[in-house]
Structure formats: C-alpha cells, structure tokens
Amino acid sequence: MTINTEETGIIKATLQHCEDGTTDMLPELMRNPVTTYTDPENLKNEVDILFRKFPIIMGHVEQLAEAGSYFTNDEVGIPILVTRNNDGVIKAFLNVCRHRGARLTNEPCGKSKTFSCPYHKWTYDLNGKLRGLPQAAGFGDIDKSTLGLVELPAFERFGLIWVRPSTSDEPLDLDAWIAPLEEQLSSLNLENHTVFKEWSLDRNMNWHLALEGFQESYHFCGAHEHTACSAYLDNQSVWLDKFPHVRHSVPLPTVVTMKDQPTEDWDYRPHFMTQNYVFPCNYVQVMTDHVYIHTIIPTGIDTCIFKCMMLIPEAPETEKAERYWQKNYDVVRTVFNEDFEIGENIQKGLNTGTNTDFLFGRYEIGLHLGTKAIHEALAGRLGL
C-alpha cells in the first residue's frame, strides 16, 4: 500500500492528538439559525440553487454497463432519464416527450435501443434525437432536429454517474469541480466495484439534519453506543477543507499501532473511515474495505430522501463472502437508523421555539465547513 502526503499528514495529526490528549478544534463556535431547517423560503432557495446548479451523484457505472442501459431518477423533483449511447457516452435527458409531454419511460431501469413514448409513439434514439413519429404527415414539415429530448449535463467519473438537474447553458467543468478530491476518489478504483445493495428511504426530517449526521464524530458514543462507538476513537476526527467539499477522517483504534512504525510503513485505509462530503448533497463514505455513496435530497421542509449504494470490490463468490458483506450492510443500516431516528426527533422539536440557533462545537468541524460552503452557494458566491 502506498499512501500520499495528505494521508501521512492525517495520520501524523491523529497520532499527535492521541499523544497529547487533544482533538482537532477551530478557534470559534458557530451558530446556525434553526430557520435553516424550518423556513420554506429557505428550502425553495436551496432547491433552486443547490439542487439545480451543481452535479449530483445518481448512480454507479455498473448500472449503465452497456449501450442502451438506462435508469430513471425522479428524486430531485424533475423526471430524469440517464442512459449510455452507442459511443459509450453517458447521456441524461428530461424524461419528457416533446410532443405533448408524456413521461417517456416509467421503468426504474432497463435496456433499450430507442425510447418510444407510450402516448403516440414518438421515438427517440440514445442521443435523444427524434427519429420517428407515426403518421408524420399530420405534422406537416416540422423540423425534427428541434424536437429532440432536452439534455442535461451528465458525466462519468470515478465509476460514478453525475447529473446536473438543470438545462441552463452555464458551463460545467466537472473535473475542476471535483479536483480537490480527485486524488482520493480516483485511488478508490470505484469503477471496478460492484453494487452490493442499493436502498432509498423517505425520512421525516429536513435534509440538513440527515446531512449533518455525517459531518462530525462527536455523536458516535452517544447515538451509536453499541455500534460505531467502539469501532472508532472517540471524537478524534481530522478534517481537510476541500472547499466546497470536505474530507473527514475518523480513526479506528488501530491507528496507534503506527506510532512506533517508520512512516514508510504507514497505511491509511485500514485505520480510517473517511466521510467525504461532496457538495451539495453527497457523501463518499470510505470504509476499510468497501464504500457507501449517499445522496440526500429534500422533498419538503421536514422530509427528505436518503439514498445509498453499498459498493464492494468484487461480487461475493462464496457464501462466506456473501455473509460478510451482508453483515456489514446490516450494521450500517442499524447505525444510519440510529442517526435518522434522532434526526426525526430533532425535527419534531424544532417548532417548539426551544432553540433559535444550534451551536456547532469547536470540534464539530465538518458542520462548520459544510454549512459555510452551502451559505456561499446560496449567496451566489460559488460557481462551477
């Protein structure tokens, strides 16, 4: 295993904290107004900006393995169809027919050479071009080239599929956007992973509450007393500001074994869980031997969708391997559920007026960094 300078730095910082009995801290507390989670105007603004202008992770390449493989996505509030064309390029379209607006395909996923509208059978190819319409004479000499599906920017990077859910002409340079996390994400080799499980939950809490559950480790021994608490060092995270993204490294207790080893023998992955916040609503959560991709999407002021894929390095070939990954999956479902139950209970108390602001402690650094990045975007200061 080779590790890079960034990871050597994370290990050094962790070992130093362990020796000194300290943890990463910012100089100041941060106060976050409770209206963040309760104000419908704020949410509207967030949807218009955060969930329209920035790329969102919508799948894994395995789900679009061949030309014509496709999946649909409605979670961000607009109907989207994502496919792979005959040149192997990922394409995303509004899942809306250009004749009279019918939903082009209703299937969650599938494979097709063309997309044929169920209403009057207008047919589009994998590049979204209108190829044919029955009894075309009834439409005179309309220009078919102006009636293709409406395309959204879509990308394939690090084995993941990213779509910007808006049609604006604003350019989007995904490589520049993701550059601060590029080295880490490309090292994960996710394009060669397989999706072991995929699930989607409707939860009764503002989307920020779900998001914030992954931005600090201060809560592990409270909320996850019988699960994550013993698996990690208590409240001992290292954060790297990868604006607008965040790298959050949570050490396992084994990290201290490296204390007496020469740095060239150090290894990062076996000793850390890494929660990478990928702005605005995704996480790439890297475990010692597998990875979770989360996407959190608001569906109302007090409701959200939590969507997750569990990626493993190879499909299990033995019952033992199957059991091993299943056990990991069961544990993570339990841990996430512990977070979401707390989040839903927070939501129930928000309108009591108990708090006007929430306090982000000096070591809840991911909350500071993530919240500031969102504020920058909402203020119009974060471009692509």
The residues of the shown chain that bind ligand FES, judged by CB under 6 A, are: 97, 99-102, 117, 119-122
Nearest distance from C-beta of residue 132 to ligand FES, angstroms:
11
Query: Which option in ligand FES, Fe ion, none does residue 102 bind, with CB closer than 5 to 8 A by kind?
Result: ligand FES
Here the tokens at position 75 are: 């979670």
Dihedral in degrees, nearest 10, Cα atoms 295, 298, 299, 301: 160
Query: Which option in ligand FES, Fe ion, none does residue 97 bind, with CB closer than 5 to 8 A by kind?
Result: ligand FES
> What number of residues does the chain have?
384
Give the residues across from 82 on adjacent strands.
Answer: 71, 92
Place of tokens 């979204």: 128
Contact 307, 210 (CB under 8 A): no
Nearest distance from C-beta of residue 114 to ligand FES, angstroms:
13
Query: Which option in Fe ion, ligand FES, none does residue 304 bind, with CB closer than 5 to 8 A by kind?
Result: none
Choose between 117 and 335: whose C-beta lies nearer to ligand FES: 117
Backbone angles phi, psi at 316, to 5 degrees: -65, 130
Nearest distance from C-beta of residue 101 to ligand FES, angstroms:
6
Choose between 115 and 214: whose C-beta lies nearer to ligand FES: 115
Identify the CA nearest to 282 among candidates 310, 311, 245, 249.
Answer: 245
Nearest distance from C-beta of residue 82 to ligand FES, angstroms:
19
62 binds Fe ion, rule: CB under 5 A: no
Binding residues among 256-275 for Fe ion as defined by CB under 5 A: none
Provide the 3-class DSSP secondary structure of residue 292: strand
Query: Which option in ligand FES, Fe ion, none does residue 49 bind, with CB closer than 5 to 8 A by kind?
Result: none
Choose between 107 and 341: whose C-beta lies nearer to Fe ion: 341
DSSP run (H or E) holding 57: strand 56-60
**Number of neighbours of residue 232 by Cβ within 10 angstroms:** 20
Query: Which option in ligand FES, Fe ion, none does residue 310 bind, with CB closer than 5 to 8 A by kind?
Result: none
Nearest distance from C-beta of residue 37 to Fe ion, angstroms:
17
What are the CA-CA distances from residue 350 to residues 107, 180, 205, 304, 343 (Å)?
A: 38, 35, 10, 16, 11
Binding-site string for Fe ion from residue 94 to residue 123, where x marks contact by CB under 5 A and - marks none: ------------------------------
Provide the 3-class DSSP secondary structure of residue 204: coil
For Fe ion (CB under 5 A), the number of binding residues is 2
Nearest distance from C-beta of residue 90 to ligand FES, angstroms:
24
Q: Rounded to the nearest 5 degrees, what angle is found at the Cα of 292, between the Cα atoms of 291 and 293? A: 120
Here the tokens at position 280 are: 């605005």
d(CA 322, CA 379): 47
Query: Which option in Fe ion, ligand FES, none does residue 339 bind, with CB closer than 5 to 8 A by kind?
Result: Fe ion
339 binds Fe ion, rule: CB under 5 A: yes
Nearest distance from C-beta of residue 266 to ligand FES, angstroms:
59
* Binding region for Fe ion (CB under 5 A): 213, 339
